[in-house]
Amino acid sequence: MDIVFHAGVNGSSPYVDFYPYAPSETAGYAFMAIFGISTIVHIILTIPFRAAYFIPLVLGGLCETFGYYGRAWAHGDRTDIGAWALQEMLILCAPPLVSATVYMVLGRIILSFNAEHLSSIRPKRLTLIFVLNDVLCFCTQLGGAGVQVTGDAEIMDIGKKVVLAGLIFSLVVFGFFVLVAAKFHRRLLRNPPPFLLVNNDLNWTRYMWAMYVACVAIMIRNLVRTIQFGASMKAAVNTSEVYIYVFDAFLMFLSLLVLAVYHPGLLIKKARRLGQTDFERLNTPDMMAENVPLTEYKPASMRE
């Protein structure tokens, strides 16, 4: 970390220098605007797609927005513990909130495709397992960042270690999740369920790749943050602000951007509507009389 304690000299009070540089006010406000706009876009998209499971991501976007306000605020006084605490807690705690949404997205995609048999973990268990682990990561990082607000050197050192443990754990959990998602993706390509055979124009792969991009972006961000918390105060990652904006701010924005451009809510909503439509068509008297198997059924738009 980049915190330096200064003992008082000649009767002056001791103080804490939270940054080895003056945080950029311009960059802080710029990313505050970027995350603010991204969050508003996701709030708007949540309504037509009925994607309440994107609420954690929206909360993560709000954390990023006000977190970078904290960095801009710190430009005027890098010893102000209020400004430092605001950015430290909110920017650290935003990724687990975004991750929670990604975990829930995969479970809903599996269910909407009627492809539970292709998943290594049952969808409900998958969501429960990863979201609970994500909550643990969130609480660990929030607690670790929270105790650092005390300004006490020993307590802040403990908080740093707690945050480091939370970051390492989140990397392990996220890595396992990506493996589960990739395995499901591969099985889906090799042995598509009847629903995808019927509705082969869904272009679902682009949404899976969007999810992978978001996952990799957050994983790289967490890795760099892990290095930051584990490195000495004089390490390059702690002495240059550019690392925060390139490997944290930009990567988190990228994850929000790709999930807005290829919003999984659109795929899930369309898949559920098509699934219901196909079920209704297959249960009409004519289709039941013809005894048409689902794997051979074609929607009216595909028939000659």
Give residue 256's identity as a one-letter amino acid code.
Answer: L
Architecture of domain 4-272: Up-down Bundle (1.20)
What's the mean per-residue pLDDT of the chain? 84
pLDDT above 70 (res 27): yes
Reported as a pLDDT band with limits 50, 70 and 90, residue 206 is very high
Whether 77 has a pLDDT exceeding 90, the answer reads no
Better-predicted residue by pLDDT, 161 or 37: 37
Length of the chain: 304
Q: How confident is the model at residue 150 (pLDDT cuts 50, 70, 90)?
A: low
Does residue 288 carry a pLDDT above 50?
no
Q: Once rounded to an integer, what is the mean pLDDT over residues 282-286?
A: 49
| pLDDT above 80 for 227 | yes
How far apart are the C-alpha atoms of 46 and 271, rounded to whole Å?
17
For residue 64, give both structure tokens. Answer: 């990023």
pLDDT the model gives residue 13? 58
Residues 199 and 288: their CA atoms lie apart, in Å, by: 20
Angle formed by the axes of helices 25-46 and 55-73, nearest 10°: 160
Residues 236-262 pLDDT 10s: 777 889 999 999 999 999 999 999 999
Return the pLDDT at 134.
Answer: 84
> Which backbone phi and psi does 193 adopt, to 5 degrees?
-70, 165
Give yes or no for residue 304 having a pLDDT over 80: no
Residue 299: pLDDT band with limits 50, 70, 90: very low
Q: Which residue in 112, 124, 119 sits closest to 50, CA to CA?
A: 112
Q: How far apart are CA 170 and CA 95, in angstroms?
A: 10
pLDDT at 135: 86
Reported as a single tens digit per residue, the pLDDT across 35-57 is 999 999 999 999 999 999 999 99
87-96, 121-130, 137-146, 245-254: range with highest mean pLDDT: 245-254
Q: What is the Cα–Cα distance from 84 to 16, expressed in whole angstroms?
A: 11
**Whether 118 contacts 278, CB under 8 Å:** no
Write down the residue that tokens 């079920």 correspond to: 279
Q: Residue 26 has what pLDDT?
A: 96
With a cut of 50, say whether residue 290 has pLDDT above it. Answer: no
